[in-house]
Amino acid sequence: MAYTAPIGDFEFIFDKLVALENVAATDRFAEATAETVGAILSEAAKLCEGVLDPLQRVGDLHPARLENGVVRTPPGFAEGYRAVADGGWVGIASNPDHGGMGLPHALATAVNEMMSSACLSIQLNPLMTQGQIEALEHHASPEIKAIYLPKLISGEWNGTMNLTEPEAGSDVGALRCKATDNGDGTYAVSGQKIYISWGDNDFTSNTCHLVLARLPDSMPGTKGISLFLVPKFIPDDTGAAGAPNSLRVVSLEHKLGLHGSPTAVMEYDGATGWLIGEENGGMAAMFTMMNNARLGVGVQGIGVAEGAYQKALAFAKDRKQGRTGGSGTIVEHPDVRRMLLEMKADIFAARTLALGCAVASDMATATGDPFWSARAAFLTPIVKAYGTEVGISVAQTGIQIHGGMGYIEETGATQYLRDGRVLAIYEGTNGIQAMDLVGRKLADGGEAAFNIFDDIEAWAETARNAHPRLAKRVWSATETLRETTEWMAAQEDMQDRLAGATPYLRATARVLGAHIHLKAALMAGPGPRTELARFYILRMLPEFTGMLSHAREGAEGLYSIGIEDL
**Could you give the residue numbers annotated as active site?**
427
| Alpha carbon 561 to its chain's center | 36
d(CA 153, CA 126): 9
The C-alpha R_g of the chain, in whole angstroms, comes to 24
Task: Determine the Cα–Cα distance for residues 55 and 51; give it in Å rounded to an integer.
Answer: 7
Cα separation, 324 vs 17, in Å, equals 37
Residue 375 to residues 30, 32, 346, 389, 522, Cα–Cα distance (Å): 22, 22, 21, 21, 23
Please state the separation of Cα 72 from the chain's center in Å.
26
Residue type, position 501, single letter: A
* C-alpha dihedral (142, 144, 145, 148), degrees to nearest 10: 160
Contact yes or no for 168/304 (Cβ under 8 A): no
Q: What is the CA angle 473-350-117, rounded to 5?
A: 150
Question: Would you say the C-alpha torsion 372, 377, 381, 382 has a positive or negative sign?
Answer: negative
CA distances from 68 to 111, 204, 208, 271, 417 (A): 36, 18, 21, 20, 31
Least Cα distance to 485 among 457, 453, 517 occurs for 453
Taking Cα atoms as reference points, which of 206, 202, 280, 285 lies closest to residue 247?
A: 206
Q: How far apart are CA 304 and CA 323, in angstroms?
A: 31
Under 8 Å CB-to-CB from 184, ≥6 apart: which residues?
A: none
SS (H, E, C) 114-161: HHHHHHHHHHHHHHHHHHHHHHHHHHCCHHHHHHHHHHHHHCCEEEEE
Give yes or no for a contact between 126 and 88, defined as CB atoms under 8 angstroms apart.
no
> Which residues are registered as beta bridge partners of 154?
none
Identify residue 216 by its one-letter amino acid code.
P
Q: What is residue 374's three-state secondary structure?
A: helix
Residue 300 near residue 350 (C-beta atoms within 8 A): no
Q: Which amino acid is at 486?
A: E
**Burial class of 122 by CB neighbour count within 10 A (0 to 12, 13 to 18, 19+):** buried
B/e letters for 494-521, b = 16+ CB within 10 Å, e = fewer, are eebbbbbbbbbbbbbbbbbbbbbbbbbb
Give a three-class secondary structure readout of 351-363. Answer: HHHHHHHHHHHHH
